[in-house]
């Protein structure tokens, strides 16, 4: 009889599951859902959500045989609902023959419908059926090495690389990365600690200063430099230079070298040089020599002053070349009285900005280049040459230095 519901109550696999056989159902279920049971079993089909209220004691699911099962919620470990695309895939999968051609067609369908994991399963089934299938191997990332198919991962491992955070690296590189990560974590801790110390400095100056001066960890250098840039109290910045000077590390020396050239406060620059001079660091000397080529002749003179303090004669050739340096300046053009004009200008410090003045828009500004003698560079040359002084005569300085090198070479041959 049509449309007559026959209810058959039984226990199938799992106790408590009510099986209802529905006759005359002609619709094809989507088979998109899976109920995972506490016992480890599964029921696949279509969860009848419209017939299963949220607070119902059981979940109704229609299987591919058009059997409607009512599964008690206490028997359910998990309900897995598939998307429409995944449901369609399950239907196609059930209809696909277990052949190379069939799996290729389904793999291509998965590619077009953005199902990468399912696509890989079919490609791997292809190489199970046909181990030397070049297309499937290539799509899975295999390369033929000699007579063997190997994945890129296998090739990289055979070359001694390891996969670290999504990148293939040599073990030494991994170790360096891990050290950097650890250092970054330590630096964050130091940044927080230094911030707390500077915050309480006024409330407890003696104790806080003592704690700051006790910092000896090279990992604290970067946090100290960053804190110094944000600090507006010169006395505190001077204290931080002392802290950097008490840290024996190349990082601390580099930080002090930059401070000795770039800090706007002379007292702070000189304090940094006091720490640098006894080190006789070749790296620091090289840095100061490089700053002799700066576009700003103020920086050039600071570099000369720093090299004088370092006392390294190897800097003499660079100092000779920096005795007189050429720098560009912007000179505003002349304008008729009463007219207002605007233009850009730059100073000897390398800063630029917009300037306003009287005049007409017809007269443009001029860029001129001047040769500027650098007094501090000359003083450094006099100091490092043992008292020689050829003023700003570059030719005489070069002649003298060439003669010194000739005498040194002759003495070495004796």
Token pair of 300 as six digits: 């050039």
Token pair of 401 as six digits: 């230095």
Q: Tokens 């293939």 map to which residue?
A: 168
Q: Which ranges of the chain have pLDDT less than 70? A: 1-32, 50-55, 333-363
How many Cβ atoms are within 10 Å of 262's Cβ, its own excluded? 12
Position 184 scores a pLDDT of 81
Q: Is the dihedral of CA 301, 302, 305, 306 positive or negative?
A: negative
- Among residues 96, 87, 98, which one has the least CA distance to residue 34? 87
Q: How far apart, in Å, are the Cα atoms of 77 and each of 61, 80, 366?
A: 15, 10, 82
pTM: 0.56
Position 3 scores a pLDDT of 36
- Of the chain, the end-to-end C-alpha distance in Å amounts to 125
């Amino acid at each position: 009889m049509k449309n007559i519901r026959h209810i058959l109550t039984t226990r199938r696999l799992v106790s408590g599951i009510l099986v209802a056989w529905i006759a005359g159902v002609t619709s094809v279920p989507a088979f998109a859902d899976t109920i995972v049971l506490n016992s480890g079993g599964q029921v696949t089909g279509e969860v009848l959500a419209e017939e299963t209220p949220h607070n119902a004691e059981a979940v109704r699911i229609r299987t591919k045989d058009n059997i409607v099962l009512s599964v008690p919620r206490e028997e359910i470990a998990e309900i897995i609902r598939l998307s429409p695309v995944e449901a369609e895939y399950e239907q196609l999968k059930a209809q696909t023959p277990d052949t190379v051609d069939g799996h290729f067609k389904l793999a291509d369908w998965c590619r077009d419908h953005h199902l990468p994991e399912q696509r890989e399963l079919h490609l791997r089934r292809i190489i199970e059926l046909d181990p030397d299938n070049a297309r499937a191997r290539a799509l899975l990332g295999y390369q033929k090495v000699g007579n063997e198919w190997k994945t890129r991962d296998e090739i990289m491992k055979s070359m001694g690389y390891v996969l670290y955070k999504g990148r293939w690296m040599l073990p030494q590189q991994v170790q360096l990365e891990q050290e950097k990560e650890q250092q970054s974590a330590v630096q964050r801790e130091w940044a927080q600690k230094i911030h707390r110390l500077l915050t309480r400095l006024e409330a407890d100056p003696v104790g806080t200063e003592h704690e700051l001066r006790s910092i000896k960890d090279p990992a604290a250098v970067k946090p100290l430099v960053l804190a110094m840039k944000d600090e507006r109290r010169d006395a505190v910045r001077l204290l931080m230079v002392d802290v950097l000077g008490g840290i024996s590390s190349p990082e601390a020396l580099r930080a002090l070298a930059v401070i000795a050239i770039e800090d706007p406060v002379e007292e702070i620059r000189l304090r940094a040089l006091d720490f640098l001079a006894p080190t006789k660091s070749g790296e620091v000397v090289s840095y100061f020599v490089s700053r002799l080529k700066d576009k700003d002749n103020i920086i050039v003179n600071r570099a000369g002053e720093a090299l004088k303090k370092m006392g390294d004669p190897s800097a003499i050739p660079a100092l000779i070349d920096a005795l007189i340096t050429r720098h560009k300046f912007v000179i505003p053009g002349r304008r008729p009285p009463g007219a207002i004009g605007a233009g850009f200008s730059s100073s000897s410090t390398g800063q630029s900005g917009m300037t306003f003045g009287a005049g007409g828009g017809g007269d443009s500004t001029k860029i001129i280049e001047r040769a500027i003698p650098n007094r501090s560079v000359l003083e450094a040359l006099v100091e490092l040459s043992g008292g020689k002084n050829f003023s700003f005569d570059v030719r005489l300085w070069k002649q003298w230095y060439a003669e010194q090198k000739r005498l040194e070479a002759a003495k070495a041959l004796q």
